[in-house]
Amino acid sequence: MLKATVHIAVPTAFNQDESLNVEATLAHIHDLHRQGAQSVLVSGSTGEQHSMNLEEKLMLLQAVTEDQKLCGHMEIIFGVASIREIEAVKLAAAIRGTGVAGILLGYPPYILPSQAEAVRYSEKIVEASNKPVILYNNPRRTGFDLSVDAILQLSRLEQVIGIKEAGDPSTVEFLRSKIDKEFYYYAGGDTGLEDKVKLGFNRLSSMAGNVYPVEIANWFGKLLSGEPVTQAEREQMSKRIDEVFSGAPLLHLKAAIQSKGISMGICRSPLGNSVDNIL
């Protein structure tokens, strides 16, 4: 079971020639750990997972799991998704024997599988990894919307312990009324958190935490506990979140990390094509 209430979805560092920069990616995770972050998501959508081939994902997995200062002291969640099921299953199988705490199971973009095909894809990945699994529904990015019936079916698998719902937030209200076991509902991103907590979201997959790890964790903890929030606190947090999500979020996020002396480099094109020397 995953213990951390908040995990930070970290970007992947790339060199100027767009090659993978494992060292800088790990340096950023180390910096978050020093600031008190308990959990990170590696190779998710913020990590540009669909720009990476299987070999690159395996390189990143090996580097993270061999770093005992990270894997032994943080909950590492690894993103597993591919337009090719066979590659997603291979990655899940490679994760199986590692110290990775769990996986975020995403769905292939563009190809629009049927619900039955998506369920079978999920079952194969769950079986291959044998890790705690968070389902990831993000129809805006993938074009595919995992149905409520499919979520309920997959929730019956022992390893499936939650869902990151970046589609219709109201889905969570219905799921909570139907799923009897302990189940976690991850907000996908930091915007609108007060409303999402009211709907039943009880965990957070944070992007803004890359820049404000302590502040985001404290803010979300306060919302979950039901503590009163002042207007000043609300405005301050809104300003921080808007700062991260304005314009081209990944570009600005990497620039903010770069300002700390960690060379996150560029995003893989076409991201960044219209921005000159932002990094």
Domain membership of residue 137 (yes or no) is yes
**Average pLDDT over all residues of the chain:** 95
Residue 204 has a pLDDT of: 98
Specify whether 196 is catalytic: no
Question: Strands 102-105, 160-165: parallel, antiparallel or unpaired by DSSP?
Answer: unpaired
Single-letter amino acid code for the residue at 224: L
Rounded to an integer, what distance in angstroms lies between the CA atom of residue 206 and that of residue 241? 10
Domain membership of residue 263 (yes or no) is no
Rounded to an integer, what distance in angstroms lies between the CA atom of residue 169 and that of residue 197? 10
Domain membership of residue 268 (yes or no) is no
pLDDT over threshold 90, residue 1: no
Question: Strands 133-137, 160-165: parallel, antiparallel or unpaired by DSSP?
Answer: parallel
243 or 118, which is more confident?
118
* Distance (Å) of CA 5 to CA 49, 82, 157, 160, 217: 23, 26, 21, 16, 8
**Active-site residue, selected from the candidate residues 121, 136, 185, 212:** 136
**Active-site residue, selected from the candidate residues 57, 131, 164, 254:** 164
Specify whether 136 is catalytic: yes
Give residue 212's domain range: 6-258
Burial of 17 (0-12, 13-18, 19+ CB in 10 A): exposed
Rounded to an integer, what distance in angstroms lies between the CA atom of residue 186 and that of residue 9? 12
Indicate the pTM of the whole model.
0.95
Distant-in-sequence, close-in-space partners of 19: CB < 8 Å, separation ≥ 6: none
The predicted model gives 144-168 an average pLDDT of 97
* Distance (Å) of CA 103 to CA 77, 189, 231: 5, 17, 36
Rounded to an integer, what distance in angstroms lies between the CA atom of residue 195 and that of residue 240? 18
Residue 116 has a pLDDT of: 99
Rounded to an integer, what distance in angstroms lies between the CA atom of residue 202 and that of residue 187? 8
Domain membership of residue 48 (yes or no) is yes
165-211 pLDDT, tens digit each = 999 999 999 999 999 999 999 999 899 999 999 999 999 999 999 99
The predicted model gives 27-44 an average pLDDT of 97
Domain membership of residue 17 (yes or no) is yes
Domain membership of residue 241 (yes or no) is yes
Give the number of domains in the chain: 1
Rounded to 5 degrees, what are φ and ψ at 276?
Answer: -95, 120
Rounded to an integer, what distance in angstroms lies between the CA atom of residue 74 and that of residue 93? 21
Report helix, strand or coil for 9.
Answer: strand
191 marked among binding-site residues: no
Domain membership of residue 270 (yes or no) is no
Domain membership of residue 279 (yes or no) is no
91-145 pLDDT, tens digit each = 999 999 999 999 999 999 999 999 999 999 999 999 999 999 999 999 999 999 9
Residue 152 has a pLDDT of: 99
* Local confidence band at 247 (pLDDT 50, 70, 90 cut-offs): confident
Among 195, 206, 278, 208, residue whose Cα is nearest residue 243: 208
CATH number, domain of 209, equals: 3.20.20.70
pLDDT over threshold 70, residue 278: no
